Amino acid sequence: MKHIKNLLIVFFLIGSFQLSAQLSEKKFDLRIGAGSTLLGSGDMVTFTYENELNYRLTPYFTSGLSFAFGKSNYGVFETSSYIQGNLSFFLSPFKNNCYNDFRLGLGISVNNVTDAYVQSEYYENGVIVDVDHVIEKRNAFGYNIIIEDSYRFSEKFLIGLKLFTQPYINGDINSGALIKFGIFL
């Protein structure tokens, strides 16, 4: 009877170690990024904010879902903004060792862009009396090409840099760089 009790204790301890190892390997992380992009064909310099949820499939492959917002008052239009959704898959060619993760990504992107500009101005005696604005909206589908490197600086937090370009079917392109801060969930 004593041997059975000892055997049960050993099995319980081994199971506890395995469960502890599984819990410490976090597969989800949430990354928040901010940076700058060139929207259109480089016509508008935007400030961009992005939220991304990643799921590590294996040490070599990760999937990510992100939503981004960008706005600009600098460029060919008076103002321009976009809301974007992305689904990407990443390859970590040097293996995601949970501390440094260099990864290359490809994915699909949906972009909703709004541009506003002055179409005409009417003057009387050298003073503007009427301004006609035009607001153009468009949706575009495209793909992502991403190079990203992140470093885990504590058990729960990481910091990284993302470089990307997003060509769209309608001829638009969005390229830029983001600094990202993340937390393991």
SS3 17: helix
pLDDT in tens, 167-180: 999 999 999 999 99
Contact 178, 34 (CB under 8 A): yes
Using alpha carbons, select from 137, 89, 88 the residue that is nearest to residue 111.
137
Instruction: Write down all domains in the chain, each with its CATH number in brackets.
Output: 28-184 (2.40.160.20)
pLDDT in tens, 18-58: 444 444 478 999 999 999 999 876 689 999 999 999 999 99
pLDDT of residue 76: 78
Contact 65, 52 (CB under 8 A): yes
Please list, residue by residue across 63-82, b when 16 or more beta carbons sit within 10 angstroms of its beta carbon and e when fewer do: ebebebebebeebebebbbb
The pTM is what? 0.80
pLDDT in tens, 83-98: 999 999 999 999 988 7
Contact 160, 149 (CB under 8 A): yes
